[in-house]
Structure 1
Amino acid sequence: MTVTALPARITRFPFPFRTDSYRYSTNVEPARVPVATEAGEWGATVVDVDDEYADELAQRERILAADPTRLTVLPHMRPACWDALHTVLRELAALRPDVMELRREGHDLLWRNDLLGVEQRFRDGDDDALPGGPLGFLGSQVQDDIVLLDQREGSLWADAGLVTFAADWSMHFDVGMRFLEVHGPVPRVHEEGIIPRAERFLMRLLPGQEYRRTNWTMSVDRRLDQSTEVYPAWGRDRRTIAEAPERELAERLQLRVEVQHLIRLGASGAVMFLIRTYMLSLAELAQVPAWRARFGHVLAELPDDMADYKGLTRFRHQAADWLLSPQSPPESS
């Protein structure tokens, strides 16, 4: 098999494991540094526009129409929302100048996005000029979820966000909470001091500084919206997938990876989290033998408390056995 035979969704996938075991860490590194993998490369840019672009934004539109609380902005965060809008639209225009442009016309700004057929004129600070306000409009143009942290009283606070693709959490529930409180349920990280160190690191970021990290879990089927608000829609599949035949298990179980960019915004001083979610089924992942073996070892070795927190307990051994078995099929059907 050659790398050129693999589809882009595999060659561009941010495979997150560098060893055969996994433990929580801050795993923060500078943004915009390409990462070579056994299948290809990822990470050269802050935002990513791929073949899922239109479909994922259509999903977000449907989710927000059904549940507008996925977009929550505390009043004092309006300047940060405008700051985020300018920052990310400029990133998109630089990434795809052939189809996207942000330009000033007199007192107004004009955003053009030929991929979506959008041409939107607006004036800075006029929330009513943009559908959904600045953060809502930004979420209609970029595949990432967006969380904005305010820094005050010696802490970071999750005070605004547009999150439609959460993995078993809720932005509406977390809004207004301290950074340490948001991460309260995560096992091991408090005893090992990981979250306080991460908060101190973020609070030291200077305007314009950009870093990134990855996080991972598993999903059943290619379901981006796994927020707690819709748990009944996806929780049952997580409980029953272990009973599926091997082939179905491999096709339906997904390695779900978040690439989280951490950026100190220049004008408002807020810290912006961009959270982009990628998924590959076990069958797709198995097309890269090194990934197949490594992820199998990670699942087999993962401590029980971490597997339970990630919601993997019911099926992770079956998944590991499939990945590590020489008899399991090496390619997707």
Structure 2
Amino acid sequence: MSLDYKFAFSPDHFDGFFRDETFRGDFTYRNTDPRRFPFPFDRDDYMYAVNIEPHVPGRKGTAFEHLLDVDEHYIAEMTDRAKVLAEDPLRCQSLPHMELAGWDVLELIMEAKARDYPQWFSLERDGNRWRWINRPLGIDESFTFLDASTLPYGPFEYIMRQTQGDWTLQDEREGTLWMDAGIATSQADWSLDFDIGMNFHEWHAPVPMAHEKGIFDRALKFLLKLQHGAPVRRFNWTMTVNPLLDTAPETYPKWGTMKTSVTPENIGRKQHLRVELQSLYRLPRSNAIAFDIRCYLASFDEIVTVPKWGRRLHRVVRDLPEELATYKGFIRNRPLMVEWLSQYDDGAPTSSGWFADD
């Protein structure tokens, strides 16, 4: 069986995306318009919560405009993902019984991208004979839907190599959810290889304060009732020194020491707010749940260009319970963060809502 790639387009000459951007080495990552960043705080304080809402199209020009956000970092993120997988193939795993769920998520992503970004993606279908065109990455692929032998990778890995964000697939059985497939190349200090095969409460065990409040019990109960065609989303966040996507435990020796490099002079450039826009979908054939963990990065310098965000971030970081600051990995640099951000907090009240112009 031929597995031809027809490189009909050259990413080196593709317009609309950064082509010189890196998330390692010299760190050339930047946001053209910081206001597009999905700022995660709609008030001046933060406590871990379920905070789930319907995942529906939102404001034009924001990360919420479409079901899946394809932004200016697409090519750079896919290049970084390929590098991570080349170094550590275990960052993408799918247990054998999850192949059908992989086809489900492939269909979900191809349909969404072809519908919302027709200038970049095309999907042609003739029964089970499909043709997928990804112009930014130069892919023109014909394959048979539900026949893994017609793809160069399994269906889950194939579409994940073309999709921003980390994804996990949860199988539902025994009254809970089991993480039985996933890809993790832009995760916030968790290991897919460690978590694969765990159930919902097991992989959330490290989160402080939430268990005694029953947050995960309520979240699981909600997710088990999730319906196909009614996806939901929520925010999560942490901090990262330098715009580094891959902050996995497996690579901690490479990035852990970066936390010691922050100074009053460089914190605005080096310290980044790391936001996960998490969305969940019930899949139609497998009945599994797909969990999309889309990572966004913005430097403190970029965030404070929106005065409301600068004030709010100062108050959130200043007042966050110590257990959460420790869990999120920035307790060491919190005093420096608070001091630097305080110059952008004039004490004025901030309006509720996430957006810069709320």
Q: Give the TM-score normalised by the residue count of structure 1.
A: 0.91
1:8 Cα shift?
Answer: 4.3
Of 316-325 and 126-135, deviating more is: 126-135
- Check conservation: 2:229, 2:282, Cα contact below 8 A: yes
- State yes or no: 1:309 paired with 2:330: no
Q: 1:205 corresponds to which residue?
A: 226
Q: Secondary structure at the match of 1:177?
A: coil
1:145 Cα shift?
Answer: 1.2
CA distance in 2, matches of 1:254, 1:294: 15
Q: 2:47 corresponds to which residue?
A: 23
- Check conservation: 1:299, 1:317, Cα contact below 8 A: no
1:174-323 correspondence runs (5 A): 174-238=195-259, 240-242=260-262, 244=263, 246-323=264-341
Per-residue displacement from partner, 1:159-197 (whole Å, max 9, x unpaired)? Answer: 001111110001111000001110001001100001111
Q: 1:34 corresponds to which residue?
A: 58
* Aligned sequence identity (%): 41
Partner amino acid, structure 2, of 1:18: D
Q: 1:147 corresponds to which residue?
A: 168
Q: Aligned in 2, Cα 1:41/1:150: closer, same or farther, shift over 3 Å?
A: same
Of 191-200 and 26-35, deviating more is: 26-35
Partner amino acid, structure 2, of 1:46: L
Per-residue displacement from partner, 1:238-288 (whole Å, max 9, x unpaired)? Answer: 2x134x2x2311100000000011111112111000111000000111111
CA distance in 2, matches of 1:185, 1:265: 28
Q: 1:331 corresponds to which residue?
A: none
CA RMSD across the alignment: 1.8
Partner amino acid, structure 1, of 2:334: R
- Check conservation: 2:310, 2:344, Cα contact below 8 A: no
- State yes or no: 1:58 paired with 2:79: yes
Q: Aligned in 2, Cα 1:7/1:145: closer, same or farther, shift over 3 Å?
A: closer
CA distance in 2, matches of 1:79, 1:226: 30
Per-residue displacement from partner, 1:107-150 (whole Å, max 9, x unpaired)? Answer: 41110011111101111222232232111111122112110000
Per-residue displacement from partner, 1:45-83 (whole Å, max 9, x unpaired)? Answer: 221111100000000011001100011111111100011
- State yes or no: 1:170 paired with 2:188: no
CA distance in 2, matches of 1:167, 1:319: 19
CA distance in 2, matches of 1:296, 1:180: 32
- Check conservation: 2:314, 2:345, Cα contact below 8 A: no
- Check conservation: 1:31, 1:45, Cα contact below 8 A: no
Which ranges of structure 2 fall in alignment gaps of 5 or more residues?
Answer: 1-29, 347-358
Q: 1:134 corresponds to which residue?
A: 155
1:42-53 correspondence runs (5 A): 42-53=63-74
CA distance in 1, matches of 2:302, 2:160: 28
Per-residue displacement from partner, 1:284-312 (whole Å, max 9, x unpaired)? Answer: 11111110110011000011111000011
1:105 Cα shift?
Answer: 3.6
- Check conservation: 1:241, 1:315, Cα contact below 8 A: no
CA distance in 2, matches of 1:151, 1:107: 27
CA distance in 1, matches of 2:295, 2:338: 22
Q: Give the TM-score normalised by the residue count of structure 2.
A: 0.85
Q: 1:79 corresponds to which residue?
A: 100
Q: 2:343 corresponds to which residue?
A: 325
Q: Secondary structure at the match of 2:232?
A: strand
Higher helix share: 1
Of 81-90 and 106-115, deviating more is: 106-115
